[in-house]
Structure 1
């Protein structure tokens, strides 16, 4: 099979062609084949054909790495039936229904990469991947696909089939992952009950395991009582070599010295993924030959780049004088790995195959941290859960919640229905009555246990979310975290009011602020001074300050300025009252509104009178000509 990732997108109907074009645009790869009845191709990477599709399929089957049919599965199966050869040489074949709802790999799921591509296509189209190969459907992941997806190398390869069979048979399996960022390679899928997962062999439950999948770059001596013939090692390409050498050293000598040093220090040569050195060595034939033999990436840095690396274990004045940097092997390894710690400090090595010497250092890529070294194995994801309606979650937020092991949310601000989108196995914690320290303890303990922790905050994280203190605590504890934005209450409020907040010639500025209560406002940000801009004001957390807010705004806004009061916008019990600035405080009192209330003031509230220049007949932009220009150019 051709090593290039060539993809043929095959459609015979109008709906299928629409899906193929959409996929081509989103994947930014693939060549479309469709009948010539749809006219001559007007787009790049699109070919038409006449005659039956069955006459074209054999040629496409032989030429492409993947065939994606926008057809029924039965039709695609009949089309490829006469072309089938071997699962090691046949291309991956995938079927997408014309509605773009389901993506089904039907041939070469593992070896041909169809399963992996099916997940990519499903993500691009918002479809559901339907993967039916036994190991992936039965256990949630495919062992043969790990090398294709991540470059992990199984050792010994002969153990793949028996371990895959054990997974299918639901035999007790242990997964030990010593390095890497948690279980992200599992795509967040919950593990079946017969599979145990741990960061070290000592953390496994005391259960009899038929097989162990051990993910590490180390050569392990202490097998924890397991027979080696029951262990399948998965070797990530996590190690980076830093190498210096005398000019003209042979590839065989370099190879012998490198492999010996790596093994002597307890690491697997299989996990070496890259070799780095000084740019003066970019034409060193021996170095290039060794990298080529093993498929290692190579990186060459200038002396200036190497010289800025601090804290070298073995700086050399001689090297500094010769090439302008106090070291080559150590700083090259650290730079290429993106790390600040060496696994193996500089070793001066002589090989029996050459009188010339080399220097070798070893580092681990920063994205392959040690999970059992006291560093945090899991992570926290802060999510802006929106104003209330669960359907206003972003797609990414919903995806992360459905992958969570632990969810922490304030039930007074975030609907429980949002938290309940997490898997049934997930632990839910309502933080409404917890202190910052108690919340932090939950986040830190769960993350250190390798869990995927979701912290739900109302609205958008960037506005009055009170996460700064939580992030500081996580930073101090060494717990990594990510942030996913959400829809803010002011955006939901504008939708509820059916208005745009930036209306032509009325309001082109939005100010997001709050009244001054217990927490003081910065001196230059008083509500009165902000009101002088006469912009659209969105005032958070201030319903209790109705009188004060009205008084401060009245100095700049006329009494009849439109004002909206929105209580728990997008919740089932939401209240939306549109009034005027003169009636603002009284209206808040009448409806007894206190918390979770947003105040909006300005001419844009409820106003849709003015027409944007965007729609003026004389306005033009990249995709639209002026009206008179369009008429003049008409045939």
Structure 2
């Protein structure tokens, strides 16, 4: 089957992988075929005039017409594009279809002799820089990455803690704080919670970046920008650090939950929010909901964890009884075989002996809260 590309009509593609490899020249086709055979999760596209007869067998998709007409469909469906096309042509073709760096796919260009691999678009958030390094290694080519934070081996603010699941509260200050970092202005890093090993370069932390134990400590210093990592809701006086700062939420809060059978998701969610507000914790830092295996099919719990994309963990009574708890219950044991549900579940997953809330009963829900310490 050959895709006939028509102006103002979206190409109907067969997507199997996360990455599209596209070629439009004789040498480019050879590179695309080679790369497609060794780069997992990729789909290969090239012009039908270079057909070799085994494309259907190999899952390669042929097209006729301008490659420019194929790109909108690829942009819409793929995580990353590897284009074996000249850089100038790629820039001209993708310019009209660019939307936002948070949604545009990573775009990588490979030259016709496969000597250089260039990160073109969405280097950080779209993953083009990592893709560039990977494709260059597979082809034995030279990776070309020009983003300042990568060249200088400093903090890429938009990717800060991404591998741990950290999320930013607002992207409003991403650009100015990134500028402060790459321009070597005075930047504070305040990590109150979350993983410690966030610095991933093999060089020391730049002198312009200083770590502080608390926001209060950082605010006493003359700083130009800040990266704050905490599960807490900031106090009014602490908000000043966000004048040119980005607030990141690490996934460190563990909710142990027990509930009566058939408890509505709305009630469970209300108790969770109310409890986190009492603690002045951010719901964006919740990592997991933990319970007993008797509740593994509890619709209310499943609905909540799916809504917020939280991990849903359940343990057997034997596993829960192995955990030392402050408030064992003979009544709970009578019905479940465990002396507690929310408290031991939160402790077991978090690895913490100290809970922020040991056990709180509210309506049909019992909740315990732990914070993972790194």
Residues 118 and 360 of structure 1: CA distance in aligned 2, closer, same or farther (over 3 Å)? farther
Aligned with 1:61 (options 58, 75, 81): 75
Q: Deviations over 1:55-85 (max 9, x none)?
A: 5334433433321112332232244345445
Structure 2 CA distance, aligned partners of 1:82 and 1:227? 38
2:282 and 2:161 mapped to 1: Cα distance?
Answer: 16
1:324 aligned to which of 337, 343, 353: 337
1:358 aligned onto 2:365:
yes
> Structure 1: how far apart are the matches of 2:237 and 2:134?
37
Q: Which has the larger radius of gyration?
A: 1
Relative to structure 1, is the Cα distance of residues 172 and 342 closer, same or farther in structure 2, using a 3 angstrom cutoff?
Answer: same
Secondary structure class of the residue paired with 1:315 = coil
1:314 Cα deviation after fit = 2.6
Task: Note the alpha carbon deviations across 1:437-471, whole angstroms, 9 max, x for none.
Answer: xxxxxxxxxxxxxxxxxxxxxxxxxxxxxxxxxxx
CA distance 1:306–1:103, shift in 2 (3 Å) = farther
SS of the residue corresponding to residue 356 of structure 2 reads: strand
SS in 2 for 1:247: coil
User: Quick check: 1:131 aligned with 2:131?
Assistant: no
**Paired residues of 1:176 and 1:198 also in contact (CA < 8 A):** yes
Q: Tell me, which stretches of 5 or more residues in structure 1 are unaligned?
A: 351-355, 370-635
Deviation, 1:116, is: 4.4
Contact residue 172 and residue 211 of structure 1 kept, 8 A: yes
Question: Partner residue of 1:344?
Answer: 356
Give distance in 1, aligned partners of 2:128 and 2:218.
33
Shift of 1:347: 1.7
Match of 1:241 in 2: 255
User: Secondary structure at the residue paired with 2:120?
Assistant: strand
On the 8 A contact 1:315/1:327 being kept in 2, the answer is: yes
In structure 2, do the counterparts of structure 1 residues 101 and 364 end up closer, same or farther at CA, with 3 Å as the change threshold?
Answer: farther
Contact 1:116–1:149 under 8 Å retained in 2: no
> Aligned runs of 1:456-605 on 2, under 5 Å?
none
> Relative to structure 1, is the Cα distance of residues 26 and 263 closer, same or farther in structure 2, using a 3 angstrom cutoff?
farther
Whether the 8 Å CA contact 1:257–1:349 is kept in 2: the answer is no
Map 1:180-259 onto structure 2 (within 5 A): 180-184=194-198, 186-188=200-202, 190-198=204-212, 200=214, 207-219=221-233, 227=241, 229-259=243-273
Native 8 Å contact 1:241 1:272 kept in 2: yes
The aligned counterpart of 1:75 is 89
In the alignment, what sits opposite 1:91?
105
How much has 1:201 moved relative to structure 2?
5.4
Distance 1:77 1:222 in 2: 45
Residue 39 of structure 2 is aligned to residue 39 of structure 1: no
**Which residue, 185, 188, 203 being the options, matches 1:171?**
185
CA distance in 1, matches of 2:112, 2:199: 30
Q: CA-to-partner distance for each residue in 1:195-242, whole Å, 9 max, x for gaps?
A: 223455588697411222111223455978964545422111222211
Instruction: State the SS of the aligned residue for 2:172.
Output: helix
Give the superposition deviation at 1:175. 1.0
Tell me the matched-pair count. 357
SS in 1 for 2:361: strand
Secondary structure, counterpart of 2:41 in structure 1: coil
Whole-angstrom distance in 2 between the partners of 1:344 and 1:128:
51
CA distance in structure 2 between the aligned counterparts of 1:128 and 1:150, rounded to whole angstroms: 29
Aligned residue for 2:154?
140
Tell me: CA distance 1:319–1:202, structure 2 relative to 1, closer, same or farther (3 Å).
Answer: same
Calculate the TM-score normalised by the size of structure 2: 0.78
What is the aligned partner in structure 2 of residue 314 from structure 1? Answer: 327
Please report how far the alpha carbon of residue 310 of structure 1 lies from its aligned counterpart in structure 2 after TM superposition. 2.5
Structure 1 residues 328-337 or 48-57, which shifts more? 48-57
- Give yes or no for the alignment of 1:10 onto 2:22: yes
Contact 1:346 1:359 in 2 (8 A): no
- Higher mean Cα deviation, 318-327 or 85-94? 85-94
The answer to whether 1:333 aligns with 2:346 is yes
> Is contact 2:109-2:120 (8 Å) kept?
yes
SS in 2 for 1:343: coil
Aligned 8 A contact 1:8 1:30 in 2: yes
Shift of 1:17: 4.6
* Contact 2:323–2:347 (CA under 8 A) maintained in structure 1: no
2:41 is matched with 29
Question: SS in structure 1 opposite 2:189?
Answer: strand
State whether residues 17 and 43 of structure 2, in contact with CA within 8 Å, keep that contact through their aligned partners in structure 1. no
Conservation of the 8 A alpha-carbon contact between 2:176 and 2:244? no
Q: Hey, what's the Cα distance between the residues in 2 that align with 1:147 and 1:198?
A: 17
Distance 2:33 2:213 in 1: 44
Q: Structure 1 CA distance, aligned partners of 2:193 and 2:297? A: 33
Offset of residue 243 of structure 1:
0.7
Once the two structures are superposed, residues 106-162 of structure 1 have per-residue CA deviations (whole angstroms, 9 ceiling, x without a partner) of 123345443443344456556554333456556733222347654322234433343
Q: Note closer, same or farther for the CA distance 1:323–1:159 as it changes in structure 2 (3 Å cut).
A: same
1:273 aligns with 2:287: yes
> C-alpha separation between the residues in 1 aligned to 2:118 and 2:258?
50
**Higher RCO (CA-CA < 8 Å; seq separation 6+):** 2
Q: Which secondary structure does the structure 2 equivalent of 1:255 belong to?
A: helix
**C-alpha distance after superposition, 1:479-532 (max 9, x if no partner):** xxxxxxxxxxxxxxxxxxxxxxxxxxxxxxxxxxxxxxxxxxxxxxxxxxxxxx
2:165 paired residue number: 151
Q: How far apart are the structure 2 equivalents of 1:122 and 1:205?
A: 43
Question: Unpaired segments of 5 or more residues in structure 2?
Answer: 1-15
Q: Is the 8 A contact 1:330 1:342 kept in 2?
A: no
